């Protein structure tokens, strides 16, 4: 269970970054609340609140169950969750932006 919590904390912390950044820049960005979910755009306020919820949930999990003073398997698993969430999100949102014409293809 501890490993799953570590992965979840890492994924939530990673997911908070693009939503907080978009919300704070006043930009629309896909959220689970958009139509269609994960592809349509949500207002900046929704992104900020979604990012803040992810940040606080990830920090709560890390603080409550994972905080230690040294590098351990729990922290390594949290980092793995962060990377495992970030790489697929970068591919997904890159495809969404290219389909919308917001980004140049590689």
Q: Is the pLDDT confidence value at 46 over 60?
A: yes
pLDDT at 2: 77
User: Which positions ≥6 away from 99 have C-beta within 8 Å?
Assistant: none
Q: Which two tokens stand for residue 42?
A: 């949500």
pLDDT at 63: 82
Phi then psi dihedrals of residue 30, to 5 deg:
-65, 140
What are the extents of the domains in the chain? Answer: 6-100
**Selected residue with higher pLDDT from 92 and 40:** 40
Q: Is the pLDDT confidence value at 18 over 90?
A: yes
- Give the separation between CA 40 and CA 76, rounded to whole angstroms: 33
pLDDT tens for each residue of 63-103: 887 666 566 777 788 788 888 887 788 788 878 878 878 76
- Give the separation between CA 3 and CA 77, rounded to whole angstroms: 6
- Give the separation between CA 79 and CA 29, rounded to whole angstroms: 24
Sign, CA dihedral 86-91-94-100, equals negative
3-state class (DSSP) for residue 11? helix
3-state class (DSSP) for residue 102? coil
Q: Is the pLDDT confidence value at 21 over 80?
A: yes
Specify the pTM.
0.73
């Amino acid at each position: 269970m501890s490993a799953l919590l570590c992965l979840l904390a890492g994924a939530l912390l990673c997911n908070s970054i693009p939503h907080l950044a978009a919300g704070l820049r006043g930009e629309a960005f896909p959220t689970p609340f958009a139509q269609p979910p994960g592809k349509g755009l949500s207002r900046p306020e929704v992104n900020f609140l979604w990012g803040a919820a992810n940040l606080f949930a990830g920090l709560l999990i890390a603080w409550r169950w994972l905080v230690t003073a040294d590098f351990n398997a729990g922290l390594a698993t949290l980092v793995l969750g962060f990377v495992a969430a970030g790489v697929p999100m970068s591919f997904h949102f890159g495809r969404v932006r290219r389909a919308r014409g917001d980004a140049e293809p590689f």
